[in-house]
Amino acid sequence: MQFFVNDQPLSSETPLTLEQLLEQINQAEKGVALAVNRQIVRRTQWPQKKVEDGDRITLIKATAGG
């Protein structure tokens, strides 16, 4: 299966949830928001929401500063 995270192609041999995807790419969940195909996915849904072939995932990180 192939999908995109912030327009970068990634692939997986096995099905992934959003939570597992974050683990795979070594991204901490704190301070992160996710959208799949331009639809925001609530954090409570990450353990159940499966990544599908061709999905476009947008990972948004909160940053501090001014």
> Is residue 4 predicted with pLDDT exceeding 90?
yes
> Is residue 10 predicted with pLDDT exceeding 90?
yes
Per the CB < 8 A criterion, the answer to whether 54 and 36 are in contact is no
For the chain, the straight-line distance linking the first and the last C-alpha, in angstroms and rounded, comes to: 39
Q: Cα-atom radius of gyration of the chain, to the nearest Å?
A: 12
3-state secondary structure of 5: strand
How large is the average pLDDT for residues 12-18? 96
Structural domains of the chain in order of their starting residue, each with its CATH number: 2-61 (3.10.20.30)
Buried b (16+ CB within 10 A) or exposed e, 20-39: bbbeeeeeeeeeeebebeee
- According to the model, what pLDDT value does residue 26 have? 93
Which residue in this structure is represented by tokens 């353990």?
47
Tens of pLDDT, residues 22-57: 999 999 888 999 999 999 999 999 999 999 999 999
- According to the model, what pLDDT value does residue 29 have? 82
